[in-house]
Amino acid sequence: MMNGQPVARRLSPRRLFWLALPLLTTAAFAAVVISSLDLVGYEGQFVNLLRPTSAATLVGAVQMGQTFVAPRPGLSRIDVLLYGFHRRNTQAVAFHLREAGAQQDEVTATFSAGEVWDWRWMSFDFGPLTNSEGKAYYFYLDSATSTPEDGLTIGGVEGDLYPYGTAIINGQPVFADAAFKTYYANVSVGDKLSALAGAITASKPSIWGDVRLYVLLGLLYLLLVVRLLWRIAALRKP
Beta-carbon contacts of 190 under 8 Å, excluding residues fewer than 6 positions away, are: none
Q: What is the residue extent of each domain of the chain?
A: 11-34+189-238, 43-186
Q: Does pLDDT of 1 surpass 70?
A: no
Q: Is the dihedral of CA 149, 155, 160, 162 positive or negative?
A: negative
Quick one: average pLDDT of 89-102? 97
Give tens-digit pLDDT for 3-38: 555 555 565 676 667 667 666 777 776 776 666 666
- The pTM of this model reads 0.71
Give tens-digit pLDDT for 114-128: 999 999 999 999 999
Beta-carbon contacts of 191 under 8 Å, excluding residues fewer than 6 positions away, are: 41, 72
The angle that helices 13-35 and 211-235 make with each other, rounded to 10 degrees, is 160
| Helix intervals (H) in the chain | 13-35, 189-201, 211-235
Neighbours of 199 (CB within 10 A): 16
In angstroms, the CA 72 to CA 195 distance is 11
Percent of all residues in the chain with a pLDDT value above 70, rounded to a whole number: 82
What is the Rg, in whole angstroms, of the alpha carbon atoms belonging to the chain? Answer: 25
> Which architecture characterizes domain 43-186 according to CATH?
Sandwich (2.60)
